[in-house]
Structure 1
């Protein structure tokens, strides 16, 4: 087991790094790792009982973190989606797919069970992609999550009913069905009581102890205990984890819990995708490649069409319908378990099962790419004679605008800017990907449209070429960078103002073409510092001069900070954090007696903030000669600071 894990993690490290460079989804990388190391390829890793169990915990952690995003109130609001759209999707897709399989000569019972299995989608892939794309709370994202929750319940029922249909279980299906539903209701109310009375007290005690490891330990215990209890009841561990996360989603600790769980979730979820890739026989692609391709494309097209029709019948717009259909078009990880069980109970021929598994795997592998291309595909599919697409509607409403302001992201910051623009009677148009926010803002007569601001066609529709200013106020640094790059390619001279949380992506945004970048944390620090200086009696003009100097130097004075014992040295995106570090020059240090410029420290990736000597501060711009006892204050990522310290003290890089 240890050697298998080492091989999988080492291969994943190389493949995922390559996929990041190629800007391909990590899920595809993990699936490729499974194909490479599996028994039908390199045969480096053999299937064991331990690996699938460990990998299944990845789905458990994913569903738990998704549950944290959905409070009980939000889930109650989604009940029509979960039980209405969810049940229709399973029944309609199951009937059509089962009918198609029956036409190819499979026995009716086998065809119906396989049709229902293929009707279910991949919770792991769709959940992870929606999360990474920031589309969890979009209309199609909520549709997909609601349907996936109902599918998890159906998956449990199917696994319970297959032995009963095969005659190998001790009870009939009409007894198994109500028993499983009763267990689900019992689990829900048990977790509801625990979340109301027990868990808040536990988290309060742990929070008061100010111990990060205790908090992480409690979060892990809750996830694993919930999964174990659900498993004892014969239900899906992932479903139980989602219910636990959902009930904890109303607590004050949900953001901290999610941050603590994320590293475990991502690694274990990667193992899950690797284990799925290992199930596929590569020889099948050589022998029956065209048949697998036809089955894959048929499955994707049929499910996408059926789901989009069902969503459209509920009264939602065509683009949302198609994006929901494309998100749910693939087969799910549950289908692998269903086929294995049906083989074991002699309900399915092994050759047919292998062919269906290969098609299901291909549909899952294509899903990340499909979801990234979904905006363009949905717009194209939604076109028709006499029908306006969402893009055309936005373009028509913005056709008369010129010299206006475009705001990308209509959260608190975007709305604050809009209020000042309204006061000055400056026309603006805003884009946001939260459907509830767009609906509320539209009701208040604000000119706000729903959509992903990274889409070039959407930016063109709001008249970006005719705009006087672009304000990027999205709460995601990667999205902000993508928007700036898109707009700068279209409009070379348009001023672009970007809001960020901190200065971690400042240089990237400026290099991409941002005119001004305003980090919230640094601006709030400036405001506090200015008020402190004013309260100390320093003149208002002098204080304003200090503030102007810091802003004109792109916040150089505020770059980095002294890290503590509990500081995470990586940003949320995995990039090194900008730190502040002081190097004291001892007797015999290499830098003593040398001018600062001769050391050329900036080439190592740091900024020299100041040199402190005998209680006084020397500016780096003055190029002082360094002496024993000086403290050189550096700002930069950890690896660059370590390299600078080696050069200052020992003359080595």
Structure 2
């Protein structure tokens, strides 16, 4: 009957959560906050709808394990290697900086004993992996600069939890510190995890392959969960947390080609169990204790969040992280984390914390979590508001290149694969360009190679003006942060109403939003990949190239026309398709040496070849509708419109000369 009673309570929690989250969605509030409120209402300090709080905590721990497992699946050893500086230096500065500041406040200002002050500083130094990564996943920000910073610091925190748990028993009354034992335990844990990690990376992908060959989805799901929990259990036995072990399991599988399949199968289970974690947090808040001293607890929570944010910003600036990315990471990591509950409970059981301090820490932790959820959701708006008063130092000294002499140029924002290919095209056809990149290492590397690149956040007005946007012909925007993409498009359109904006996005459903903000052309990776796929498929079935082109054109027209990207270009191509004997070409005088020194009147191109000269390109200058008496020079290029046979005839006569 006890099991039936617990099932009834879980049903009540689901119903209550559904109702609360429905209301929160109507009010446009985060669902995570709704889960916490549901836990508060259902828990022992609310309406007491749930008595089996320990079982809820057990389910919530499974949620944390699955959350960290999926985060690991999205990572790779290569990505971890890229953020190693943030992990080592940034993590150290954040954790130890917070410990030192909190210890000083507790010991010198509040007058707490040394051991108690140290334990409190341990608890406050940690941030919430679950909250930060959950919101980043929802908002598509795990791959952004501030996402990488947050992940690197959170991983460092998760490792330091092991040291903190080993130290706490030695801080209880009458305990003697055994530093040799602590070092031995840490070394043993590190060796076990390293050895198992190296072995598992070789074995696990092969096992997954053997399971996949059986083509049994149920078996694959059970096997994937087994891998997650086995590695988490081994990590726990080595002294690390179950959640960190699950993260390692995800990284191990991420190195294989099956990681996406595992991710898709785990996701539905993760969402259900993670919701229980946030519900369990709400159940911990003693509402009576909070209501007796709400202003003190809220003030304490705000002070903690403020100083944790400042420490992250200062730490990141020390290792030369851009101010905006540091500020966003500071907001993201300003709360106290879920592992702090573990440390708080452990310290309480060891007699280090009194009842009152225990409740203050629990209440402050939950309030920081609730406030940070709202802040993280709105942090880009906060940055935009602050930028009115404080420049975010988007241009680094010594890495600024002047674009003031450029005209009719391309501004390339983001120097990834898209940016690099566009630069190659610009170099090939002598098109002037300037690159804006937010990664300081990338800027430094390519600056040494004398690339026309400078550091900056392209959503800032002064950065765009540094790129001489008023004189530019178009902007190509290809960055991974969807929020930054939207802000940048809006800012570009505000500064330069007539410039052409080409924006890249990951998902097709984001096209309309970017168009409404002012983008002229939006390239959706998801959609373009689908076009490429059906091209390959139709080619395999020996469908003619003309039919494939027509079908592709029809799809593009039906899909992009709603967003305004297709109409003008489509109409022009329709015109050429209806008169297929005509075409537009650019003719270089390198291939027409007999034209040098002559005028258009001398050449009589319309009469002799049925060719109309639309423009002359001379270096960076484009001269439309050139005069008949213009003398052509070596290096000129002619943009012409004419009959295909006429252009062939022109080159035929040139060869005879």
User: Structure 1 residue 502: deviation in Å?
Assistant: 6.8
Q: Aligned pair count?
A: 552
Instruction: Check whether the contact 1:307–1:325 (CA below 8 A) recurs between aligned residues.
Output: yes
User: Structure 1 residue 481: deviation in Å?
Assistant: 6.5
Q: What is the alpha-carbon distance in structure 2 between the residues aligned to residue 550 and residue 79 of structure 1?
A: 44
Instruction: Check whether the contact 1:58–1:268 (CA below 8 A) recurs between aligned residues.
Output: yes
User: Structure 1 residue 444: deviation in Å?
Assistant: 5.2
Query: Would you say 1:269 and 2:261 are equivalent positions?
Result: no
Could you tell which deviates more after superposition, 453-462 or 38-47? Answer: 453-462
Query: Would you say 1:296 and 2:304 are equivalent positions?
Result: no
2:310 is aligned, of 293, 305, 320, to 305
Q: Given the superposition, is the C-alpha separation of residues 368 and 467 from structure 1 closer, same or farther in structure 2, using an over 3 Å criterion?
A: farther
User: Structure 1 residue 436: deviation in Å?
Assistant: 5.7
TM-score normalised by L of structure 1: 0.72
Query: Would you say 1:123 and 2:129 are equivalent positions?
Result: yes
Q: What is the alpha-carbon distance in structure 2 between the residues aligned to residue 373 and residue 24 of structure 1?
A: 11
Three-state SS of the structure 1 residue aligned to 2:334 is: coil
Query: Would you say 1:145 and 2:151 are equivalent positions?
Result: yes
Q: What is the alpha-carbon distance in structure 1 between the residues aligned to residue 495 and residue 421 of structure 2?
A: 27
User: Structure 1 residue 215: deviation in Å?
Assistant: 2.8
Q: What is the alpha-carbon distance in structure 2 between the residues aligned to residue 33 and residue 402 of structure 1?
A: 58
Query: Would you say 1:282 and 2:287 are equivalent positions?
Result: yes
Query: Would you say 1:50 and 2:58 are equivalent positions?
Result: no
User: Structure 1 residue 550: deviation in Å?
Assistant: 4.2
User: Structure 1 residue 381: deviation in Å?
Assistant: 7.8
Partner of 2:42: 37
User: Which deviations, in whole Å up to 9, do the C-alpha atoms of 1:405-428 show, x marking residues without a partner?
Assistant: 445554434433443344333344
Q: What is the alpha-carbon distance in structure 2 between the residues aligned to residue 427 and residue 552 of structure 1?
A: 31
Q: What is the alpha-carbon distance in structure 1 between the residues aligned to residue 347 and residue 448 of structure 2?
A: 53
Q: Given the superposition, is the C-alpha separation of residues 26 and 517 from structure 1 closer, same or farther in structure 2, using an over 3 Å criterion?
A: same
Q: What is the alpha-carbon distance in structure 1 between the residues aligned to residue 106 and residue 519 of structure 2?
A: 55
Q: What is the alpha-carbon distance in structure 2 between the residues aligned to residue 35 and residue 268 of structure 1?
A: 17
Three-state SS of the structure 2 residue aligned to 1:553 is: helix
Q: Given the superposition, is the C-alpha separation of residues 536 and 58 from structure 1 closer, same or farther in structure 2, using an over 3 Å criterion?
A: closer
User: Structure 1 residue 42: deviation in Å?
Assistant: 3.3
Q: Given the superposition, is the C-alpha separation of residues 167 and 289 from structure 1 closer, same or farther in structure 2, using an over 3 Å criterion?
A: closer
User: Structure 1 residue 26: deviation in Å?
Assistant: 3.5
User: Which deviations, in whole Å up to 9, do the C-alpha atoms of 1:51-74 show, x marking residues without a partner?
Assistant: 112111222222223333443455
Query: Would you say 1:97 and 2:105 are equivalent positions?
Result: no
Partner of 1:610: none
Query: Would you say 1:426 and 2:461 are equivalent positions?
Result: no
User: Structure 1 residue 335: deviation in Å?
Assistant: 1.9
Give the alignment's Cα RMSD to 1 decimal: 4.1
Partner of 1:194: 199
Partner of 1:412: 417
Partner of 1:334: 339
Q: Given the superposition, is the C-alpha separation of residues 333 and 388 from structure 1 closer, same or farther in structure 2, using an over 3 Å criterion?
A: closer
Partner of 1:247: 252
Partner of 1:6: 11
Q: What is the alpha-carbon distance in structure 2 between the residues aligned to residue 435 and residue 266 of structure 1?
A: 36
Query: Would you say 1:357 and 2:362 are equivalent positions?
Result: yes
Partner of 2:630: none
Partner of 2:120: 114
1:154 is aligned, of 156, 160, 176, to 160
Instruction: Check whether the contact 1:326–1:370 (CA below 8 A) recurs between aligned residues.
Output: yes
Q: What is the alpha-carbon distance in structure 2 between the residues aligned to residue 296 and residue 426 of structure 1?
A: 54
TM-score normalised by L of structure 2: 0.71
Query: Would you say 1:163 and 2:169 are equivalent positions?
Result: yes
Query: Would you say 1:523 and 2:496 are equivalent positions?
Result: no
Q: What is the alpha-carbon distance in structure 2 between the residues aligned to residue 329 and residue 197 of structure 1?
A: 38
Instruction: Check whether the contact 1:408–1:471 (CA below 8 A) recurs between aligned residues.
Output: yes
User: Structure 1 residue 254: deviation in Å?
Assistant: 2.4
1:554 is aligned, of 559, 565, 568, to 559
Instruction: Check whether the contact 1:138–1:434 (CA below 8 A) recurs between aligned residues.
Output: no
Q: What is the alpha-carbon distance in structure 2 between the residues aligned to residue 178 and residue 356 of structure 1?
A: 29
User: Structure 1 residue 92: deviation in Å?
Assistant: 3.0
User: Structure 1 residue 281: deviation in Å?
Assistant: 1.9
Partner of 1:259: 264
Instruction: Check whether the contact 1:472–1:498 (CA below 8 A) recurs between aligned residues.
Output: yes
Instruction: Check whether the contact 1:16–1:30 (CA below 8 A) recurs between aligned residues.
Output: yes
User: Structure 1 residue 291: deviation in Å?
Assistant: 0.9
Structure number with greater Rg is 2
Q: What is the alpha-carbon distance in structure 1 between the residues aligned to residue 248 and residue 368 of structure 2?
A: 28
Query: Would you say 1:390 and 2:394 are equivalent positions?
Result: yes
Q: What is the alpha-carbon distance in structure 2 between the residues aligned to residue 212 and residue 266 of structure 1?
A: 19
Instruction: Check whether the contact 1:117–1:335 (CA below 8 A) recurs between aligned residues.
Output: yes
2:217 is aligned, of 206, 212, 216, to 212
User: Structure 1 residue 243: deviation in Å?
Assistant: 2.3
1:228 is aligned, of 225, 233, 241, to 233
